[in-house]
Amino acid sequence: MATFSPPKPSIMNSRFSGNPSELSTNQLSLIKFPRAHSVFQSGILRNKWGNHMGFHRVRVGGGSRGLAVVRCTAEGIERSISFGKRSIGSAAAEERGISGGVGIGLPERFKVVALTAFVMCLCNADRVVMSVAIVPLAAKYGWSNSFLGIVQSSFLWGYIFSSVVGGALVDRYGGKRVMAWGVALWSLATLLTPLAANHSTTSLLAVRAFFGLAEGVAMPSMSTLLSRWFPSHERASAVGMSMAGFHLGNVVGLLLTPIMLSSIGVTGPFLLFSSLGLVWLMSWIPGVTNNPRQSQNISTSELRLIEAGKADSSPQNVKHLPLSRLLSKLPTWAIIFANMTNNWGYFVLLSWMPVYFKTVFNVNLKQAAWFSAIPWGTMAVSGYFAGTTSDALIKARYPVTLVRKIMQSIGFIGPGLALLCLKFATTPTIAAVLMTVALSLSSFSQAGYLLNMQDIAPQHAGFLHGISNSAGTLAAIVSTIGTGYFVQWLGSFQAFLTVTATIYFMAAIFWNLFATGEQIF
């Protein structure tokens, strides 16, 4: 490939005018192509609007066919300029020996985050199906409120064990493969759930535990995969988009499940969501790689953009981090306690909101689903807003530690205040508004502790995520079962919501004392 250095104006003006495609072979031969370092190799051309474009290579063909590829490295976009009749593909295709294609395409990292957001939506939808289907199942089999808590928490029995192992597997094998196996297994468990419930309660609990075992790898896979595919200043937005899909899964599950239960029966929603998992795998397996360097479709400019924005862009063969060393630092405990608090409140609301609206306000199942779905929809929007705001603050050179503390404080103090106000709700509408506020503000945690794992341990984030997720899952089991017993013993949801609010406030204090955005491991 020749290096094109701009010819002198006298040559250009004397040899041709008008369209560049009019260059002939003889005219091209008058233009020299020195190997010396030229402006088109490393120079920067500034246009009259102040934009910068880095020109790296230009390939010129013979005869009336030639091309120039101009790459804007600042934005990760490539444009191809065609000389003559030849149709030119992207610069990445030329450099990798791939023929054809279009000059400008959707960046590969956006495709990765879109597929990740979809599967996170499916992940939560599969969980939520049981939160709605448990109402007719309880009526059919005569389950008590305390046993409802056991059934709801059975998902977490498997989840708590797979988090640590799943996180370690992600660090070793990458997010793509681990996520694919997780989706295949939890889709199978979703399909088997109504059959197990019809067989026996023991079978149901076993299948739900297996379901949780498979889903435990989803969050570490997502976190690690996005950290590899996005530069630091885009990571919060990418996580926000993926978690928006996660929260929208609640909306999808809460709204579709009652409709399918009434029209098809208990097996309907389980069959639908398990089938979607298998369809998703058909796009994920051939379309995603563990990191951008392994991708055959990514452009060189996008790869450079990603790696330039990451402190840990080079491949690492790191040794396993001892658990004792991981737990010896207070920032690790700040993440663990934050995960526990977030899961405590999250699973109380996720598992019990349909039952809450039916018990406290005597609304039917479809109405309960609508009131429960609204908060999760707004949570998806607020979570993405938190991510973009976090990225904007970091781009503005605010310290990462300060940004993480601000976001996590909003994510804990806001929900705590909203839950305390819930006891004053006199209508289901007011209750739904307060829960919407609680969940919307809790989504700011995504730009807090969830991203902080990559801050303090970029090469061990999967393992750290697994440890903190296991602790968070234990807290979720206690809160999910505890809610059922509180309701049965005291006849009120508010007592347990007050306990949850207190835990939120205590976790906010601990986070602000000991969290950091600096790399430790």
User: Which two structure tokens, joined as six digits, stand for 492?
Assistant: 């009120």
Q: Around Cβ 353, how many Cβ atoms within 10 Å? A: 27
* Domain-embedded: residue 20: no
Q: Which domain holds residue 122?
A: 107-309
* Domain-embedded: residue 66: no
Among 309, 344, 374, where does a domain finish? Answer: 309
> What does the pLDDT profile of the chain (521 residues) look like in tens digits?
444 445 444 444 444 444 444 444 444 444 444 444 443 344 433 343 344 444 344 443 444 334 444 444 444 444 433 333 333 334 333 333 333 334 456 888 889 999 999 999 999 888 888 878 887 888 888 887 778 778 877 887 888 788 778 888 888 888 899 999 999 999 999 999 888 888 888 898 999 999 999 998 898 888 888 888 888 888 888 888 898 888 888 888 878 888 888 888 888 889 889 999 999 999 999 889 988 888 888 888 888 888 877 655 444 555 677 888 888 999 999 999 999 999 898 878 766 776 777 777 777 666 666 666 677 778 888 988 998 999 899 888 899 999 999 999 999 999 999 989 988 888 888 888 888 898 889 999 988 998 898 889 888 877 888 888 888 888 888 887 787 777 777 767 777 888 889 999 999 999 999 999 888 88
Number of H helices, E strands in the chain: 20, 4
Give the C-alpha distances (Å, rounded to integers) separating 383 from 351, 420, 439, 444, 447: 20, 22, 10, 6, 8
Regarding whether 399 and 284 lie in a shared domain, the answer is no
* Domain-embedded: residue 188: yes
Q: Nearest Cα to 237, choosing from 440, 87, 423, 386? A: 386
Residue 317: the pLDDT is 53
Residue 205: its H or E element: helix 201-215
* Domain-embedded: residue 322: no
Q: Are 307 and 73 in contact (CB under 8 A)?
A: no
* Domain-embedded: residue 369: yes
DSSP 322: P
Residue 253: the pLDDT is 85
Helix-, strand-, coil-residue percentages of the chain, each rounded to 5: 70, 5, 25
Q: Around Cβ 214, how many Cβ atoms within 10 Å? A: 24
Among 282, 309, 336, where does a domain finish? Answer: 309
Q: Are 52 and 74 in contact (CB under 8 A)?
A: yes
d(CA 404, CA 390): 8
* Domain-embedded: residue 25: no
How many structural domains is the chain composed of? 2
Residue corresponding to tokens 């995504």: 446
Instruction: Give helix 201-215 / helix 108-141 axis angle, nearest 10°.
Output: 170
Regarding whether 368 and 411 lie in a shared domain, the answer is yes
Regarding whether 390 and 476 lie in a shared domain, the answer is yes
Residue 366: the pLDDT is 62
Among 280, 309, 338, where does a domain finish? Answer: 309
Regarding whether 483 and 414 lie in a shared domain, the answer is yes
Q: Which residues contact 185 (CB under 8 A, 6 or more apart)?
A: 210, 213, 214
Q: What is the CATH number of the domain that holds 336?
A: 1.20.1250.20
Give 77's strand partners.
72
Regarding whether 247 and 380 lie in a shared domain, the answer is no
Residue 123's Cβ-count burial label (10 Å; 0-12, 13-18, 19+) is buried
Residue 33: the pLDDT is 44
Regarding whether 287 and 332 lie in a shared domain, the answer is no
Q: Are 331 and 514 in contact (CB under 8 A)?
A: yes
Regarding whether 286 and 389 lie in a shared domain, the answer is no
Regarding whether 118 and 260 lie in a shared domain, the answer is yes
Handedness of CA 262, 267, 273, 279 (dihedral sign): negative
* Domain-embedded: residue 168: yes
Regarding whether 396 and 281 lie in a shared domain, the answer is no
Regarding whether 445 and 500 lie in a shared domain, the answer is yes
Q: Give the chain's end-to-end CA distance (angstroms, integer).
A: 44
Q: Are 164 and 468 in contact (CB under 8 A)?
A: no
User: Which two structure tokens, joined as six digits, stand for 493?
Assistant: 């949801």
Regarding whether 354 and 266 lie in a shared domain, the answer is no
Give 70's strand partners.
79
Q: Are 228 and 175 in contact (CB under 8 A)?
A: yes
Regarding whether 358 and 496 lie in a shared domain, the answer is yes
d(CA 39, CA 4): 9
* Domain-embedded: residue 423: yes
